Chains A and B, each alone.
Chain A
Amino acid sequence: MPTKSKPAKPKVKAILDSYQGDPSMLVSILQDVQAEYNYLPKETLTQVSQDLDIPLTRVYSVATFFKAFSLKPRGRHIINVCLGTACHVRGAVRIRDEIERELDIKPGETTEDFKFTLETVNCVGACALGPIVIIDSKYSGQMKPDKVKTLLESYD
C-alpha cells in the first residue's frame, strides 16, 4: 500500500482507464488514487480533472468533502481509532487520548518521522470487540489504555 515513489502519471491513467473514464465514478477513482499514493497529491487531482473533463474545483470539493481523503502525505502506518457509539460507551475516548499522548499528535496529524498518522472512524462494524483500533488493516479489539504503548511499539 504505502509507496515511496513520486507521483507518476501512468498510474493515474491506469486507474482512470479501469473506470472507462466515467466521471460519475469520481469518488471511487480518488479512492484508488489515494490507495496508490497514500494521499492525494496535487498533480493527481489536476490530472483527474483534465482527463475526466470536470472542473478542478469540483474534484477539489469532493476530495475535501469526504473524510476518507487526505491532501497531505500520511505516515507509513495509518492508525484508525473507532469512535462509533458502541466503542464510545466502552471507553474509546481514553484510547484515543492515550495514543495522542504517546505519539504527541492529534487526529488528522502525522508524526514528524512519518511513521504514524492518527485518524478516527465512526464504526467499522466490529462493535462487539470495542473499543477497537485498526492499524493499517489489522484490527485490535478490546483495547485498554495500558495496551496502547505495546501495540504502537510493535510497528516499525
Chain B
Amino acid sequence: MKFTLHVWRQSGPNARGEMKQYEATGVNPDMSFLEMLDVVNQELIARGEEPIAFDHDCREGICGSCGIVINGVPHGPRRRLANGKIEAKTTCQTYMRDFTDGQHLWLEPWRAGAFPVIKDLVVDRSAFDRIMQAGGYISANTGGAPDGNAILIPKRDQEKAMDAAQCIGCGACVAACKNASAMLFVAAKVSHLGILPQGQPERAQRVVRMVEQMDKEGFGNCTNYMECEAACPKEISRQFIARMNRDYLWAQTQDLETTSSGGAG
C-alpha cells in the first residue's frame, strides 16, 4: 500500500509549525499506524532529515501515550464493527488495512491551548497530571495488608467505578472536543474514586479541586457535543460528566475546609 502523509512539523514549543507532505510507500496492510511511521522515519533518517516525533509506549492500547489526530479524528477514523458498534481504539491499535490504498492522511497533534506542542505530534499533557495531583487520589493507611474484601462494595458500584477507571488519560477527549474541554477525563477520574467507599472521605474536595485545576489549565467548557464520548478509546460515557455535574453541586453544600485537612489517622 502507499499513502500521502500531510504531517504537522514543528521543531520546538515556540517554533512555528506547518503541514509537510511525505510519501509512504511499500506499506504492509497489517502494519500498525505507528509501525508505518517508523518506516517513514527510517527513510527520513537515511536521507539525513529529522524524523517525525510522536508519542508511544506500550503499543497495545493500554498506556495512553500515543495519540495522533488522523484526518480530524483523534486516534484515527473508526470502523463500524460487525455487531453495529463503532470501534474504539488508540492510534497504536490502528492498522493500515483500515485505510484505502493511495489515501491522503492528515496527521496533527492534539490541539488545545492546555496541551502545548513539544515537537511535531508530541504534546505536553502535564495539565492532566496537575489535575490528578489536585484530587485524583485517596488517602490510605500504611501498615499490615488489610483483608481483601473487608470493605463491601456493591457490584453495581464496582462495575461503574471500573468503567470510569478504564480512562487511560490519553487526552483524545480534549482533542476531539470543539471547545478543547477536559470534562470527560476529569469526570472519569472524579467518578472512579468517588463511587467507591474508599473515595468518600475526600469526595467533596476532590471534585471541587479537580474542576478548579481543570479551569486553571485553560481547558474549554462543556457544550455537551459528546464528541469526547465518540472519540474515547475506552468508551467512557457522558453519564460520568452528568455525575460530576451533580457531584460538584452537592460538594458546594459540604464543609470543604475540614474535609481537606486529611485527618490525623
Judge: A and B partners, yes or no.
Answer: no
Residues of A within 8 A of B (CB): none
Taking Cβ atoms with an 8 Å cutoff, the residues of B that contact A are none
